[in-house]
Amino acid sequence: MITSLLCLFLAVGCGPDAKQSMAPDLIVFAGDAPVHADRIELPVSIINWGAVPSSTTQLHVYINERPIWNDSTTRTLLDAEVPPLDPKTSIRFEVEIALDELEPDSHYYLLLIADALEDERNGRNRDYSGFSVDEEGKLIMGCDPSAPHDGRDGATDPLFDEQWHLENTGQRAYAAIRASVGEDLRMTNVLSSGTPTGAGVRIAVVDTGMELCHPDLAANVETDASYNFNANDWHNAEPAEPYLPWATGDHGTSVAGIAAAAAYNGTGGRGVAPGAVLRSYNMLAAVESEGAYYDSLGGSETDPDSTLVDIFNMSFGTLPGEFGVDPNEDQLLRHGVTNLRNGRGALYVKSAGNAFNGCGSIRRPANARIGCSSSNSASSHHSPYLIMVGAFDAQGTRASYSSAGSNLWISAPAGEFGYNFGAIITTDQVGSDRGYHVIANYGVPPDDVDNPHGNYVSTFTGTSAAAPNASGAIALMLEAQPDLTWRDVKYILAKTARQIDADIESVQYLVGGTVYTAQLPWIANAAGYRFHNWYGFGAVAVDAALELVAGHTPDALGAFVEMETAPMADVVSIPDNDGAGIAQTLTVEGAADDANIEAVTLHVDITHPQTNDLAIHLTSPSGTESILNPIFNDALAGNADLAWDLLSNAFYGESPNGDWTMQVVDAAPEDEGTLNEWSLTFALGTHPGS
Ligand SMILES: [Ca+2]
Ligand SMILES: [Ca+2]
Ligand SMILES: [Ca+2]
């Protein structure tokens, strides 16, 4: 069950204090209105997702001239009291507004206020992008295809010079501090030759929505391929038009531009793969998120047909605390890598998470150095079918928020927050009065010479921004060689990744008088792959990846074999506050002599009153060590029993045969527990030249 709340991996964290959760408490949506000679009748739908406590709560819908966040002078054109609305119910009613109140070529906002909800900035009481009135007086909902464009020289992208993530020249990217030259996607050859562009490769942006008519996206949007899961709930919404009604940013519109905004068209910047084919599934805004999850990720052949997708961009996470394998989700992803792309397998590209700094409970000094919640601690994040993407900044080191974990595959640029240090410049909701910049007072202004209509932002960040950079890079690879399997793509990304931040030091503490290593430096495993829990195999290096694609025979990694060991089931005490911990060895035999590890999953069962005091290390027969769970992992706070699956990519390419050692360390005094059982599952192939 995907019962946990999905949340966006934008700059804000994914957790109890998250300011951007998937579901606002209330959603309001305006439909197409009949226009009379003197007035319009605007249908308004409101859905109470269940957080607004009772039908006695007073709701008001306002139509304002401007969003309220930064403009207290906005004029209210209409104030309508809404009939009582119980949780989990929706209502539709009509408001009338006189045409002589509205000005042509203007945009109007719906504001929903519930008297029981106080904070207007937390997404409860908030603005929604209501409607525009064009010059002829016609009402336009959502993205306006007739909105003015930049009209610049079509051979250029005016914001490209500031897009450090594509070509880092030490620019400021509208922030205070310059970027560090060369810390980018290393795609100089692609930029100078103009190819490949990702042409013909289909990317699904599984997200909040997408403005299909955005001037830097429209050319790449596949007609009638997108899907609005709320078409039945949002009156008059088109099924193939998944735009988001709120005015203060559409996460999916910004994610889409990073992967595949158009190039050489005289507007905005450009995407990594400016010729890729885009579609949007607004799963994160769906009222029924569980069905939408499967339908969005390759599990549906109609309404929508997601089986046609090559790359699923998943810039979202589940809230930490889902530790077991979800059999349905496992089956969905397995179906996708087995059957889609004519059996070559779809690519599932997922954000690692933004929880490095976000300790929801106790924050210990170690958390500042090794992170708060591990990326390994969320449902599905241990799936070998995913490509988990961490974030680096314009200085070429880990972005401050980027969750660490042995489950990471690769890192991609995403930056910081765009104030002191640069973030990502990408597409924003069309118009200077809609989008992320409405509530941010820094970054590229919505009237800048290179952003004259406010269609772009320079403050988009989080591992949400890293994933679409990787998706774009994969689109380039798939155009260059459409026969690559999903495993070929992972192999090439790992093989060509660029080591960044090479001098990270290990982190050691005295635990009960023993020196305990809580974080490793970069390691090189026995197959020659470098790995670090902050970056996976390193930063995506596009030119190098394309060079290897050119010399790589597709489907050359041998049969994909999954092999599970018998469990080690001796119940043993975990020594309290002891840096040596308890270690057990499990002997693996029977894999082919030439078998290469593609992933290792540890299933572990532990009983302990404070599982977040525990670290879990795994060492391969070749002597490669990986920390699968760091000490003081905030995601475990409050869990006394762990039946957990943890993925490590650190052993990629090694042989599985031999003695595997697992170590469990309890790093805090008091509270003692037992290790009950563990086993390993291997994904195996046979790699070229090994
Ligand atoms: Ca452009
Ligand atoms: Ca905007
Ligand atoms: Ca203890």
Backbone angles phi, psi at 210, to 5 degrees: -160, 135
Q: What is the whole-number distance in angstroms between the Cα of residue 397 and the centre of ligand 3?
A: 33
Q: What is the whole-number distance in angstroms between the Cα of residue 433 and the centre of ligand 2?
A: 6
Ligand nearest to the CA of 270: 1
pLDDT of residue 23: 45
pLDDT of residue 41: 84
pLDDT of residue 519: 98
pLDDT of residue 640: 83
Ligand nearest to the CA of 438: 2
Q: What is the whole-number distance in angstroms between the Cα of residue 221 and the centre of ligand 1?
A: 14
What the chain holds in terms of domains, given with CATH numbers, is 32-140 (2.60.40), 160-496 (3.40.50.200), 558-685 (2.60.120.260)
DSSP structure class, residue 189? H
For residues 369 and 347, what is the distance between their CA atoms, to the nearest angstrom? 32
pLDDT of residue 456: 97
Ligand nearest to the CA of 665: 3
pLDDT of residue 19: 28
Ligand nearest to the CA of 453: 2
Structure tokens given for 172: 């400021």
**Taking a C-beta distance cutoff of 8 angstroms, is the pair 110, 61 a contact?**
yes
**Taking a C-beta distance cutoff of 8 angstroms, is the pair 411, 501 a contact?**
no
Structure tokens given for 230: 């709320």
DSSP structure class, residue 265? S
pLDDT of residue 12: 35
Sequence-ordered list of residues with C-beta below 8 angstroms from that of 304, at least 6 positions apart, any chain? 225, 226, 227, 279, 281, 295, 296
Q: What is the whole-number distance in angstroms between the Cα of residue 608 and the centre of ligand 3?
A: 9
Residue 88: count of CB within 10 angstroms of its CB: 10
pLDDT of residue 54: 66
Buried b (16+ CB within 10 A) or exposed e, 6-36: bbbbbbbbbbeebebbbbbbbbbbbbbbeee
Ligand nearest to the CA of 581: 3
Ligand nearest to the CA of 448: 2
Distances (CA, A) of 629 to 139, 300, 323: 54, 35, 12
Ligand nearest to the CA of 247: 2
Ligand nearest to the CA of 579: 3
pLDDT of residue 493: 98
Ligand nearest to the CA of 425: 1
Q: What is the whole-number distance in angstroms between the Cα of residue 445 and the centre of ligand 2?
A: 10
pLDDT of residue 93: 83
pLDDT of residue 230: 81
pLDDT of residue 11: 36
- The total number of residues shown for the chain amounts to 690
Q: What is the mean pLDDT of each run of 10 residues along the chain (690 residues)?
A: 39 32 58 76 78 73 81 84 80 85 86 71 69 77 76 87 98 98 98 97 96 95 93 69 83 97 96 98 82 94 97 82 69 97 98 91 89 89 96 98 97 97 97 84 93 96 98 99 98 98 96 97 98 98 98 96 95 98 96 97 96 97 98 89 92 98 97 97 90
CA nearest to 191, candidates 258, 272, 266, 267: 272
Q: What is the whole-number distance in angstroms between the Cα of residue 254 and the centre of ligand 1?
A: 13
Q: What is the whole-number distance in angstroms between the Cα of residue 152 and the centre of ligand 1?
A: 10
pLDDT of residue 2: 35
Q: What is the whole-number distance in angstroms between the Cα of residue 248 and the centre of ligand 1?
A: 22
Q: What is the whole-number distance in angstroms between the Cα of residue 680 and the centre of ligand 3?
A: 25
Q: What is the whole-number distance in angstroms between the Cα of residue 137 and the centre of ligand 2?
A: 22
pLDDT of residue 51: 66
Ligand nearest to the CA of 615: 3
pLDDT of residue 122: 54
Ligand nearest to the CA of 269: 1
